[in-house]
Chain A
Amino acid sequence: MFYREAGDFKTSYADDSQTFPIRFDRLRYYAVVAVAFGVIPFVINDYWANAVFVPFLIYAIAAIGLNILTGYCGQVSLGTGGFMAVGAYACYKLMTAFPEVSILIHVLLAGGITAMVGVLFGLPSLRIKGFYLAVATLAAQFFLVWLFNKVPWFYNYSASGQISAPERTILGHPVTGAATTASAKYLFCLVILFALAWLARNLTRGTVGRKWMAIRDMDIAAEIIGVNPLTTKLSAFAISSFYIGVAGALFFAVYLGAAEVGEAFGIQKSFLILFMIIIGGLGSIFGSFAGAAFMVLMPVLLKNILVGQFGWATDLAAHVELMIVGALIVIFLIAEPHGMAQLWRLAKEKLRLWPFPH
């Protein structure tokens, strides 16, 4: 009934090219933003923040980052965990070296440093493609984790080899450290995610995004029509790594508080985020959100059902979870290779005709 272009007349170019051209979509978007900023911070408690919302927000940033590289630019990366580690350690070094500077600046700078590292490891993408590149990014993953493990300068020579986030405040409210409230953590991550998602949405529908997609669809053809593969691929690596670095910094500083590199940023993390964008939908910002929500919620749900309801042992539940994740990925790839985002698109198509489909 409501989901129609009909009757919604555009009178300016700005109206015509807005992100959500359908009024119902726009209102829904405003409603979601209003609930996220206006309702959840006041009702959130520690369990929901730590188990669901904060990891969801942080993984969503990382998933958007990887989606820019893999979904939009077509360069498969298995080094996400390593790049998150760069963000985390950069943030840690900045936080301890310049305690008087705002944490927000540290997080963004950490993203910038990760972007530079990302470009460095993205250089081989100009020569090698496809699987070869995927394996090359594994080099980044293993090398970076090893580096942060072996060079004591990165973890400030602490005896345990761990890094732990000191307390930092924004406008007088602590956002890292033990004294942080659930709503402060949530809001801090939400603001960053909101800004970055808005940026990503507009980047991907502008010139840069079109160039990325041209390279993804066929790099040689793109080159012939005048897309520079060097700058296009490297910009995808840089921006993607920036997002992933910010996610890594938040993951360490806000969510974990203390981290050990092999455990927090191992190869499993790379795969987790890759799964998010496959299940959510390659080449879709909404898909990054959906995939992150799915991969965060599903283990929580399964654990509650299997361990809480049936009283199974946790290790058994963990194995069942592995099986379900694996099976879901295969099922998704068979049934809908474009992920949840495509289901959402189809639902909207149906909604446009509803309730008179003929």
Chain B
Amino acid sequence: MPDQLLYATEAALNGLMAGVLYSLVALGFVLIFKASGIFNYAQGVLALFAALTLVGFQNGQVPFAHLINAVFGTDLHHFGWQLPALVAIVLTAGVMVALAIVIERYVLKHLVNQPPIILFMATIGMAYFLEGFGDIMWGADIKKLDVGLPQGLNETIDAVTFEAFGYGFFIDNLDIVASVVAALLVISLTLFSQYSKQGRALRAVADDHQAALSVGISLRFIWVLVWSIAGFVALVAGIMWGSKSGVQFSLSLIALKALPVLMLGGFTSIPGAIVGGLIIGMGEKLFEFFIGPMIGGATENWFAYVLALLFLVFRPQGLFGEKIIERV
């Protein structure tokens, strides 16, 4: 194969891997949108918050240390223990469930029957709140997240491709793990929603709130459930992104990248979130590779949005979305 094509293939593969991570965030969006019609802007911040909490638990940080020190003049920072990764993950998942309950009780319950745009703005408010809350709780410095996932160049792929084409592809181990985890997550979510009792209730609510209520499904429980699942998906996304590039504010910006993914895939489709993520991830890497150098580079910032915008003009409901039918 000619060199150019090899490099392009490598870029495309890396793009696919990045796309998996976008899909993970988009998945959380889709779950909440399907079950409650809420477009959850806070999903990215949820991922950030989960990752911050995980690091905090792992390192035995004292929550709110900064605030307590400022108010009482003490000098707290760490409890002085290290928790194993698995325990910390379980604890963090617990925190995400608690957060889901709090959000349902203090925010969503009061906003039933409001137009979608009000709910959307409420989630922006929640995003701001959580961002400040996470920073106050655990401090705003960039943290290293290490839960023992393999990282760095995958030597097998490097060796095999070098053998075959005379050029070793650089694929990060972490990206491979992320893809496997994403696949597992999608499979288990699909199984859950197809075959479990709660999963059926979830689909019923997604289909029609009022009909679901009338057959005795508790809407509030389903909302807590779905926000907990979204919190868990956020935790997984947070772990992946955090291991890759450290836990920091920019993590919450991946939520914005998940938006074009959603537009492309359709807001209501789980496979759509995955396919959309892959298309966006690969598309932006390839565009940067071929067109980027001609127009000054850093096109990754906007390519996804423009692609989604152009796409929507031709297919307003996205690739897999339900057809929008309007009645007066």
Contacts and interface: CB of A to CB of B under 8 A. Distances in A.
Interface of A: 76, 124, 127-132, 134-136, 138-139, 142-143, 145-146, 149-151, 218, 220-221, 224, 267, 271, 274-275, 278, 310, 312-313, 315-316, 319-330, 333-334, 337
A143 B110 CA distance: 37
Contact of A135 (B107, B128, B131, B263): B263
B256 interface: yes
Interface of B: 39, 66-67, 70-71, 107, 110-111, 114, 116-118, 120-122, 124-133, 135-136, 140, 256, 259-260, 262-263, 267, 295-299, 301-302, 305-306, 308-309, 312-313, 316, 326, 328
A212 B48 CA distance: 39
Contact of B313 (A124, A142, A145): A124
B296 A151 contact: yes
B259 A138 contact: yes
Given A132-B263, A135-B259, A138-B256, A326 B312 contact: no
Given A132-B316, A142-B301, A150-B298, A330 B129 contact: yes
Given A323-B133, A329-B128, A330-B107, A316 B256 contact: no
Given A218-B328, A220-B326, A329 B305 contact: no
Nearest to A317: B70
B296 to A, nearest CB: 4
B95 to A, nearest CB: 17
A139 B305 contact: yes
A150 B305 contact: no
Do most interface residues of chain A lie in helix, strand or loop, or is the interface mixed? helix
Contacts of B140: 315, 319
B140 to A, nearest CB: 6
A307 B122 CA distance: 28
Contacts of A143: 302, 305-306
Contacts of A326: 125-132
B260 A135 contact: yes
A142 B302 contact: yes
Most-contacted residue by chain A among B128, B267, B299 (CB, 10 A): B128
Contacts of A127: 312-313, 316
Nearest to A333: B122
B122 A329 contact: yes
Given A220-B328, A320-B136, A135 B130 contact: no
Contacts of A220: 326, 328
Given A218-B328, A267-B256, A326-B131, A130 B116 contact: yes
